[in-house]
Structure 1
Amino acid sequence: MSKKLVLIDGHSILNRAYYGLPDLTNAQGLHTNAVYGFINIMFKILEEEKPDYITVAFDVHAPTFRHKMFEEYKGNRKSMDEELRQQVPLMKKMLTAMGVKIIELAGYEADDLLGTIANRAEKEGMNVSIISGDRDLLQLATDKVLIRIPKTKRTGTEIENYFASDVKEAYGVTPKEFIDVKALQGDSSDNFSGVPGIGEKTAKTLVAEYGSIEKIHENAAIIKPPRASKNIVEYWEDAVLCKKLATILTDAPIEYNFEDAKIDSISDLYTQDAYLLCKELEFKNLLNRFDAKEESFNISELIEVVETIEKADKIFEEIKDKNIAFYLVKRENNSVGQFNQDSNGQLGLFDFSTDSKEDLFGLSLTYSKDKVYFIEVCNGITSDYLRNKIKETTANKLITRDVKSQVKLLEQTGVLNPAEDFEKYVAYRSKFVDASIASYLINPTIGEYPLDDIAKSFAGIMIPTQKEFFGKETIDDMFSSNKNKAIEYVAYESYIPFMANDNLIARLQNDNMLELFEKVEMPLAFVLASMEKEGIILDAQALKEYSSNLDEGILKLQKSIYEKAGEEFNINSPKQLGVILFEKLALPNAKKTKTGYSTSADILDGLKAQYPIVSEILEYRQLTKLKSTYADGLRNYIEEDNRVRTTFNQTVTATGRLSSTEPNLQNIPIRIELGKQIRKVFHAKEGYVFVDSDYSQIELRVLAHLSEDEKLIDAYKHGKDIHRSTASLVFGVPFDEVTSLQRRNAKAVNFGIVYGISSFGLSKDLGISRKDASEYIKNYFEQYPKIKKYLDSCIERAKEKKYALTMFNRRRPMVELESSNFMTRQFGERVAMNSPIQGTAADIIKIAMIRVHDRIFKEKLESRLLLQVHDELLIEAKESELEEVKKILKEEMQGAAQLSVDLEIDTQVGKNWYDAH
C-alpha cells in the first residue's frame, strides 16, 4: 500500500483562517484567530487522510525570484495585515510544539517547495495531498497528487478536492494548461493582470482550443472576439511574464528527508508542549482533542505541612538571608477549629470555636524550588506568631502576590506599623516584591494578573485556575471539606511567585522599569494598604438627607422633561425616549438600532447644546445614578466604626492611574452641584479637619515640559491664566480682552489636546461646527508648534517601539497602532499622544502619595492620608497639626518631580470633604 504525504501551504491556510473567522485575542492580547482556524483545518484534513508524513511550507520574508520579477515590472505585492503577520511565528511555534515538519527556503515561495516535494514524493510512489487556498496549485494535480482547497466558515470547514481529472472537468483544461489560463486572465491575489479584456471564461475557452498561450499568440489573427485578438498581441509581454509568475517550480534546491516528516499516527501531534500552548492561547475547544491530559505540575509532592512550633522555628531559622516567598492565608470568618481525620480518613472539624482570635489558616512559605511549607495555625502556632516571624525575618527579599492584602494582614495587630519605627519600616518595605504588580508593569493592558497567568507567563508552569480549584466554594469551605486540596492551592501562592521572580525582575530590568517598580509601585502598595485601613467617616444621617435632595431634583427634572416632551413617558426606557426625541420632537442625528433609536451618551451629547430637553435628560441620568450608586449604594459600605473603606486598584488601568471600587470614591460626578454635595456626607473625626490638595493643571504642565514649547512654558513661569493666554494666542485678541466664552473654548482645546481630541470631538464638546473646531485646533498648533511636533513624535515613536513611554519609563503597549481597522488605529494614535502625558501625571501623583505618607510618619504626626482622587489628595489632619500638614503637602507634592515649569497645588481645609474642596 502506497505511503501518503500531506503538504500544507502555511501562509495560504493561515490567510484563509484569518479572514474566515472573527478576531480572537487571548489574555495577553495576542491575536489568535488564524492559528485557531489553521489547527482546525489541519486536524480535519489529517483525520480524513491519516497520512504517514506531514509537512508545512512557509514563504520566507525575503524577496523571491517572483517578487523580484514582479517588482521590476509592476511594483510590490499587497502587504499582509499586521494582526495576521503577528500570527505567523505563533503558528510556527505551535507546529514545532506538535513535531510537524516545517520547510522554508529564502528566495523561494511556499508554492515552489510544495511543488518540489510533491514531485519527489510522486516519484517515490507516494500519494500526495496538498492543502492550500491558492488555486494556482491546481497545476500540480496528477493522478496521485490531490489538491485540496478548504473554505473556512463559521459553520465549519468545507473542502474542494481536485485530481488532474477533476481540474479538467471543472475548468475544461488540464492542470498544466491551467497555468496558461492564469497567464491570460492574471491573478488578482498577486496584483498582476494578464491580457486586458480576457476573463476567466474566455481564457479557459482559448486554452482548451489551442493548448497554450504560445499557440494562442501564433493564431492571434483568427481569434475571436476581436478585442482578445488585438490584446493578445499588444500585451504579449504581460502574458509571458504572467505565465512565468504563475508557473510553480518542481525542482527547487531544498534539502528534505521524508523520514523527518514521518508520523505514526495523528495522536503523535497531541504533545504536551502543544497542549500547554493551546491552553496558553485559550483554545479551550481544542483541549479535548488531547488524549494525554496535562502533565500539570504536581506541587503536592513538594508540600510539607508543619504542625509544631519547634519545626516552624527551625524553618524560620533556615530562611535567614535568603529570598523567600510567602502567603498568609486569611480565614474569612473568625471561626477556627482543628482538622483531624476520622476512622475513614475523612477530614473534619472538632473543638469548633466562634470566639477565637485566630484569623489565619496558616502560612505558605517557599525558599527553594524543591520544597513548599504550609505552616498551620495549630498546636501553639498562632496567627500572631506567623506575623511576627515574617516581620522579624532577615530574609533578603520577601516575594508575594497582592502585597497590599498581605500587608493589611500583617498590620492587623500592629505588626507592621510605620508609626513605631519609621526607618525600620522603610527598610522592611524595601524587601518586598509583588509578582502581580511586576506582571502589570510588563503588560498593563490585561487588567487581571491571576496566579495561573503568572505561572504560565513567567514560571513556565501550568496550574489550574482559582475557579478550577474552588468552583463556587470559599477558602473556608475548602479548608473544611478538602483540606489537602486547599493547602495545595495556597502552596502555589508562594511557590509560583518564587519561581517567577527571577524572570519578572529580569524583564523589568530589560524594559528599564525596575526603578519604577522598586521606588514607586512597591512603596505605593504599602501606602494604599494604609489608606484602605484608615477609611473615611460617612455620616449616615447626612446621606439620608442627601438622598431626599436628590429625589427632589429628580422629580423637578422629570416634570420639566414631561412639559418639554408634551407627555409623560418612561425616561429610563431608551425605546420610549427614542420615540419622543426622534419621532415626536424630530431631533436630528437619529441613529436606528435593532431595538429602536440609540439614546446613548455620545448621541445625546451632540444635541445638548441646542436642545434643553436633551441637557435635562443627561442631568436626570446623572442624578438617578447618584441616587442608586451613592445615596443608596453607600449605605451598604458603612462599617461599625462609621467609616467607609474603598479598595484602590493598582493594576487595572493601562496608563498607570489608580482606580477605586467597592465603593468607587474616584468617580463621583462633580460637574453638577448636586453631584458635589455628596462630599458633604464625608467628614473628619472629632478634633480633626480635612485638608485637600489638588494639582493645578498637572497634565498641561507635563505637556509643557515634555514638548519644550517656549510659549506654554513662559505662560506658566509668569503665572498667567493659561486658558486666557491660549485664547489670546488662538483667537488673536489681546490678553485683557479675552471673553469668558473664548476662555472656555480655549480651556476645552487645552485639555482636549492632551487627550488627542479630534475636530469632531471638540465640536461636540463646544457645540460648534466641525469646521470651527478644526480651525481652533489648527490655530492652536500654529501658536504652539512644538506641541504639534511633540505629539506627532509620540505617534511615530509608538509605531516604531510598539509602546508609549512616560517620563518615568512606564510602558503602555500600543497594539492598536498595528490594527487593520482604521478606527482602532485612530484610537491608537490618540492613546500614543496622551499616554506619556497622562501616565507621567499618574506617576507624579503616586510619587507624591508616597512622599506625603512617609513624611507624616517620619515626623510622627497623627494625621493620615485617606484618599487619592486622580490629581487630588485628602488628609484627615489633627487640628493641632494643620499647618505642618499643609507644609508637607506643599513641599512633597510640588517636589514629586522636577519639570521645566513648577508643579502648583490648590489646598483647602474643611470639616467635610465638600468644604475642603
Structure 2
Amino acid sequence: MERLLILDSNALLNRAFYAIPELTTSEGIHTNAVYGFVNMLFKMKEELKPDYIVAAFDKKGPTFRHKEYEDYKAGRKKMPSELAEQFPIIKELLGLLSITKYELDGFEADDIIGSLAKYAEKNNIEVFIVTGDRDALQLASENINVVITKKGVTETATYNYKSFVDEFGVTPTQFIDVKGLMGDKSDNIPGVPGVGEKTAYKLIQTYGSIEQVLNNIDNISGKKLKENLETYREQAIFSKKLATIVTEVPIEFNLDEIKSQESYDRDGLKKLLFKLQMKSMIDKLSKGNEIEEESLEEAIDITYINSSESFLELSKDLKGEIYITYETINSEKYSEIILKNIYLSSDSKTYFIKFDEIVNEDKDNAYLSLKTIMENKDIKKVIHNGKSLITILNKLNISIEGFEFDTAIAAYLINSARNAYDLLSLINEYLGEDVNGSDDEIKCKVNSKLKDIYNILHGKIEDEKMEELYYKVEHPLIFVLSSMESLGFNINKSMLEDLAVKFKEEITTTEKEIFDLAEEEFNINSPKQLGKILFEKLDLPVIKKTKTGYSTNAEVLEKLQDKHEIIPKITYYRQITKLNSTYVEGLKNVIDVDGKIHSTFNQTVTTTGRLSSTEPNLQNIPIKYEMGREIRKVFIPDESEDVLLSCDYSQIELRVLAEMSQDENMIDAFKHHSDIHRKTASEVFKVPVEEVTSLMRSRAKAVNFGIVYGISDFSLSQDLHITKKEAAEYMEIYFDRYPKIKGYLDGLIEEAKENGYVLTILNRRRFIPEIKASNRIVKALGERLAMNAPIQGSAADIIKLAMVNVYNKLREKELKSKIILQVHDELILNVKKDELEEVKNIVKNEMEKVLEMKVPLEVDINIGKTWYEAK
C-alpha cells in the first residue's frame, strides 16, 4: 500500500519554535522553527518512506468558523515576528524539495488535512498526519494515522482507530463530542461550563454523542451539571460543529500531480541550507536511501606552472578576465612576508603558479612575468582579499592595473557580521558546495569557483544599492590602506628604549604605593590575592563574586573608585603594565629593518564599518593617562626635515546625528560654530551660555555622546553619578530641545525591527538580530545598536571617503607627502617641509567637503615632529 505523509505545517512550526532555543544566522535570520520542522520531516521520511508528501498551511484571514462565531480563537497571542519570518523560508524549502503546499481562503490547515486524508483513504493509500495539534485525532481510522509530537518535535505518539480507542475509551469521531462538551481554550470554543475533560469523556462513553447526552439529561446525576447541560444545549451542539474538521474542502486533489521528494532541486536546497547555516541538514539529506548523492564537484582543468619559462609564456597569453587567489608565508614583519603560490582562473582553466619556487629558480623572470600580468590594464582582475597581494607587490615595485572587484570586501558589505570572509566559507554559503581533496587541490578548486562567487556578490551589491559605497569608498580604499601598510610609521628607537626604562620605574613606584596602602606585598595581577586584600583586609564592599572568589574586574573597580585610595592606584597599575607589554616591549618586536612599524589595516573586521589595525594595533593606544600619551613620542616623521600632520574631524558623530535627524536646532548650533556641549548644557540646566560651569558642560557632553550610543537613563545616571530621575530629566529636556533627534532614533529602532538591519548615510548595512530577541536584555542591546550603528557607520563612511579623496589628490598633484595612519576620525600624514601649506589646504578641503551636507564638517589640524606633538 502506498503512503501519503501530510505535514500540519503551522502546528509543527509553532511547536518547533517554542521547543527549540533561539537560533539565528550571522545575518540575523531566525531559524529554530525551520530547524525543528526540517528535523521532523527528515525523521518521518526515514521512518515511513512515504510515496507522497504534502504540507498544509493556515491562510491569513478569517475562516468560515470566524464568520459563524466571531470569538473563535479570540484571545490568542499574536504570532511572534521571530516565528512569522520563518514561514516564507519553510515554504521556499518545501518548494525546493518538490513538496506540494496547500492553503485555502476561508479554511484552516486542519480542513485541508482532513479532506486530503479522506481522499487518499478512498484511493487505498495509507495516510500519516504529522501534527502538534490533538484536534487531528478525530481523523484517525484504520488507514489514517495521526502522529502527535510530544516533547520537542522529534518524540511522537502515533494513533490509528484501534490505538486511539484503546487509550481514550471513545472513538475518534466521538472525540469531537468530547471537545464539544469540554470546550477548547486554545481555540476559544466555549463548550458547556462546568464540564471538564474527565466528565466529558465519561458522558460520551456512557451515551455515545452530545445529542444523546442532551436527550438523557434526566438520567444524569448532579444537579449543577444537569442545569448547565440544559442551559447550554445549543452552545454544546455549536461547539461540536466548531470542533469538527471539514473533510470536503473545495480543492480537487490529484495524486499524480502531488510530487514526491524524488525530483527535488538539489543545488537550490543546498544553497538555502548553507544560507541558513544548517550544514548538518545537508548531511542528513545526503544519507537518505532514496537519494543517490551525486558528486558535489565538477572536474576542473588544472595547469601547474612551476618554471620561469611556463610562467613567462602564461603572462603573455592571458587576456580578458582573470580570477586570482593567492597564498603567502606570513610574518609579524612586513619585510619578511613572501608570496608563495598564486591561483589563477581564466576561461575554463585554472593555473597553479608555484611562485616561490619560480623565484628561487629565476627571480628576474619571475618578477617580470608577474609584472606583465598585474600591470596589464586590459586584463580585468577579480581578486579575493586584494589588499595583502597589493602590499606584497608594492615591495616588488609592481603596481596593479585593471583590478575591478574584491570578493572579500563585497561579502563584508553584504553582511558585516560574518566571522570570516575566506573564499571557502563563501562557496559553502552562496553555492551550497563543499570542496574536498588534498590541500593544493582544494585551493585550486576554490579558485575555480571565484567567478561564480563574483557574479553573485556583484549582483547583490547592485541589488542592495551599494554601488557608490563599494566603488567610490571601499574598493579605492584598498589601495590607500595598502599604501599605508607599505609606507609604515617611523620609530625613534632610542626614545623607545628610554620610554621602556621610564615605564619600568613607573610600574615599580606604583607597585610600592599599592603595597604601602595594603600594608603588605602581594601579586597585584592575581585576582585571588587582590580580592583578599580589598574585601577581607580592607573590608571594602563586595560588588560581585565568581566561582573562584571575588571579582576584581574593571567594572568592580569603577564602582569602588571612591571607597579607598588604593583603587585608583590599581586601575593605573593595570593600564601602565598593559601599555608597557603591548606598546613598549610590543613595539620593539615589530620594528622592521627599515626602522619602521608596518601595521596591518583591516577592512573587514568591524560591524560598524570602522577600520581596525593589528600587529600592532595603533588605533587603541589608551591616552587617559600621560604615560599612554607618551608612547606617541616615539612615532616620528620619515626624515628629519619632514613633519607629521594630524587632521582630526571635530565631533563628527554629533554632526552626523544632526545631519541624519535633520534637527534644525542642532544643525543651527553647528552652523554658528557653537560649542555644542556648552550650548546643550545651557539648554539642559536652563542657564545662559556664559554661566555654564565646567561641570555642567561635562555632564552635557556625557548626554550628547550618550544619545549617540543609545544610552539609557540608568546608564547615564551611572556615568554621571547622579540619580536615575535626574538623568531622565536631562534626557527629557535634551529631546525637547532637539525634537527631531528623538523621532529619528525611534525610527531607527522600528526600521531595525521591520527590516532586521539599519543603514548609514552611504547605504552601509548593519544587521541587528538582537532586536528581535525574546530576551529583554538582548533586545535592549539591539535597540542601542540600532540607534548607534547608522551614526558610527556614517562617520566611518565619511572618514574612509575622505582618505580616498586625499590620497587621490596627493597622487594627482605628484606630491611626496603621504597618509601613513588613520585612527578613527583622525588622519596622520608624513609631510615634506616644502609641501606643508599645500598639503594642509588639500586635506582640509577634501575632508570638510567630502559629502554635501547641511551640517558643516570641521577639521582640526596640528603639526609636530612627533605624533605626540601633532596631537
Q: How high is the TM-score relative to the length of structure 1?
A: 0.84
Shift, 1:759, TM fit: 0.7
Q: Which moved more, 1:63-72 or 1:843-852?
A: 63-72
- Matched-pair contact (CA < 8 Å) for 1:680–1:915: yes
* Matching of residues 444-523 of structure 1 within 5 Å: 444-458=416-430, 460=431, 462-464=433-435, 470=439, 485-486=440-441, 489-490=443-444, 492-493=446-447, 495-523=448-476
Cα distance, 1:43–1:740 mapped onto 2, change above 3 Å: same
* Matching of residues 494-893 of structure 1 within 5 Å: 495-554=448-507, 571-574=524-527, 590-591=543-544, 594-596=547-549, 598-602=551-555, 604-608=557-561, 614-687=567-640, 688-893=642-847
Question: Which residue identity does 1:812 align to in structure 2?
Answer: R
Cα distance, 1:87–1:801 mapped onto 2, change above 3 Å: closer
Shift, 1:446, TM fit: 1.4
* Matching of residues 83-122 of structure 1 within 5 Å: 83-122=82-121
Shift, 1:915, TM fit: 2.2
- Matched-pair contact (CA < 8 Å) for 1:16–1:152: no
Cα distance, 1:220–1:879 mapped onto 2, change above 3 Å: farther
- In structure 2, the residue matched to 1:136 is 135
- Matched-pair contact (CA < 8 Å) for 2:540–2:563: no
SS in 1 for 2:449: helix
Among 330, 333, 344, the alignment partner of 1:365 is 344
Inter-partner Cα distance in structure 2 for 1:860 and 1:791: 44
Cα distance, 1:714–1:296 mapped onto 2, change above 3 Å: same
Q: What per-residue deviation string (whole Å, max 9, x for no partner) do you get for residues 175-218 of structure 1?
A: 22322333444444446664554443343334434444455556
Shift, 1:612, TM fit: 5.3
Shift, 1:669, TM fit: 1.6
Shift, 1:536, TM fit: 1.6
Inter-partner Cα distance in structure 2 for 1:767 and 1:65: 61
Cα distance, 1:646–1:188 mapped onto 2, change above 3 Å: farther
Shift, 1:745, TM fit: 0.7
- Matched-pair contact (CA < 8 Å) for 1:387–1:410: no
SS in 1 for 2:617: coil
- Matched-pair contact (CA < 8 Å) for 1:794–1:832: yes
- In structure 1, the residue matched to 2:49 is 50
Shift, 1:771, TM fit: 1.3
Shift, 1:319, TM fit: 5.1
- Matched-pair contact (CA < 8 Å) for 1:327–1:406: no
- Matched-pair contact (CA < 8 Å) for 1:513–1:810: yes
Among 306, 323, 326, the alignment partner of 1:325 is 323
Question: Is 1:395–2:378 an aligned residue pair?
Answer: yes
SS in 2 for 1:7: strand
SS in 2 for 1:78: coil
Question: Which residue identity does 2:127 align to in structure 1?
Answer: V
Cα distance, 1:439–1:169 mapped onto 2, change above 3 Å: same
Shift, 1:456, TM fit: 4.4
Cα distance, 1:229–1:620 mapped onto 2, change above 3 Å: farther
Shift, 1:568, TM fit: 6.4
SS in 1 for 2:154: strand
- Matched-pair contact (CA < 8 Å) for 1:701–1:901: yes
Inter-partner Cα distance in structure 1 for 2:226 and 2:562: 67
Inter-partner Cα distance in structure 2 for 1:537 and 1:543: 12
SS in 2 for 1:19: helix
Cα distance, 1:236–1:538 mapped onto 2, change above 3 Å: farther
Shift, 1:592, TM fit: 5.0
Inter-partner Cα distance in structure 1 for 2:580 and 2:804: 34
Inter-partner Cα distance in structure 2 for 1:406 and 1:617: 44
- Matched-pair contact (CA < 8 Å) for 1:133–1:149: yes
Shift, 1:376, TM fit: 5.4
Inter-partner Cα distance in structure 1 for 2:507 and 2:28: 43
Question: Is 1:164–2:161 an aligned residue pair?
Answer: yes
Shift, 1:294, TM fit: 6.0
Question: Which residue identity does 1:798 align to in structure 2?
Answer: A
Question: Which residue identity does 1:432 align to in structure 2?
Answer: E
Shift, 1:438, TM fit: 1.3
- In structure 2, the residue matched to 1:481 is none
Inter-partner Cα distance in structure 2 for 1:835 and 1:73: 44
- Matched-pair contact (CA < 8 Å) for 2:177–2:209: yes
Q: What per-residue deviation string (whole Å, max 9, x for no partner) do you get for residues 259-297 of structure 1?
A: 45576xx99889565456545544344454424556223
Inter-partner Cα distance in structure 2 for 1:541 and 1:608: 37
Inter-partner Cα distance in structure 2 for 1:562 and 1:183: 80
Question: Is 1:295–2:273 an aligned residue pair?
Answer: no
Inter-partner Cα distance in structure 1 for 2:218 and 2:668: 80
Question: Which residue identity does 2:382 align to in structure 1?
Answer: I
Cα distance, 1:758–1:507 mapped onto 2, change above 3 Å: same
Q: Which runs of 5+ in 2 are unaligned?
A: none
Inter-partner Cα distance in structure 2 for 1:850 and 1:241: 74
Question: Which residue identity does 1:324 align to in structure 2?
Answer: I
What is the identity percentage for the equivalent residue pairs of Structure 1 and Structure 2? 45
- Matched-pair contact (CA < 8 Å) for 2:2–2:51: yes
Question: Is 1:79–2:33 an aligned residue pair?
Answer: no
Shift, 1:842, TM fit: 0.6
- Matched-pair contact (CA < 8 Å) for 1:362–1:374: yes
SS in 2 for 1:686: coil
Shift, 1:634, TM fit: 3.1
Among 411, 419, 424, the alignment partner of 1:439 is 411
Inter-partner Cα distance in structure 1 for 2:555 and 2:91: 43
Q: What is the count of residue pairs matched by the alignment?
A: 856
Q: What per-residue deviation string (whole Å, max 9, x for no partner) do you get for residues 642-685 of structure 1?
A: 32222111112222111112222112222233322222232223
- In structure 2, the residue matched to 1:350 is none
- In structure 2, the residue matched to 1:349 is none
- Matched-pair contact (CA < 8 Å) for 2:54–2:100: yes
SS in 2 for 1:157: coil
Q: What per-residue deviation string (whole Å, max 9, x for no partner) do you get for residues 506-545 of structure 1?
A: 3222222101111111110100000011122334454454
Cα distance, 1:296–1:527 mapped onto 2, change above 3 Å: same
- In structure 2, the residue matched to 1:420 is none
- Matched-pair contact (CA < 8 Å) for 1:373–1:491: no
- Matched-pair contact (CA < 8 Å) for 1:29–1:446: no
Inter-partner Cα distance in structure 1 for 2:59 and 2:551: 48
Inter-partner Cα distance in structure 2 for 1:106 and 1:566: 81
- Matched-pair contact (CA < 8 Å) for 1:32–1:281: yes
Cα distance, 1:618–1:224 mapped onto 2, change above 3 Å: farther
- Matched-pair contact (CA < 8 Å) for 1:78–1:191: no
Shift, 1:111, TM fit: 1.7
Inter-partner Cα distance in structure 2 for 1:589 and 1:233: 68
SS in 2 for 1:854: helix
SS in 2 for 1:851: helix
Q: How high is the TM-score relative to the length of structure 2?
A: 0.89
Question: Which residue identity does 1:715 align to in structure 2?
Answer: A
Inter-partner Cα distance in structure 2 for 1:609 and 1:121: 78
Q: What per-residue deviation string (whole Å, max 9, x for no partner) do you get for residues 791-834 of structure 1?
A: 22223333444432222222223333333333333222222222
- Matched-pair contact (CA < 8 Å) for 1:297–1:461: no
Among 283, 288, 293, the alignment partner of 2:278 is 283
Cα distance, 1:72–1:435 mapped onto 2, change above 3 Å: same
Q: Which moved more, 1:108-117 or 1:602-611?
A: 602-611
- Matched-pair contact (CA < 8 Å) for 1:538–1:682: yes
Question: Which residue identity does 1:415 align to in structure 2?
Answer: I
SS in 1 for 2:41: helix
SS in 1 for 2:303: strand
- Matched-pair contact (CA < 8 Å) for 1:360–1:383: no
Inter-partner Cα distance in structure 2 for 1:124 and 1:706: 65
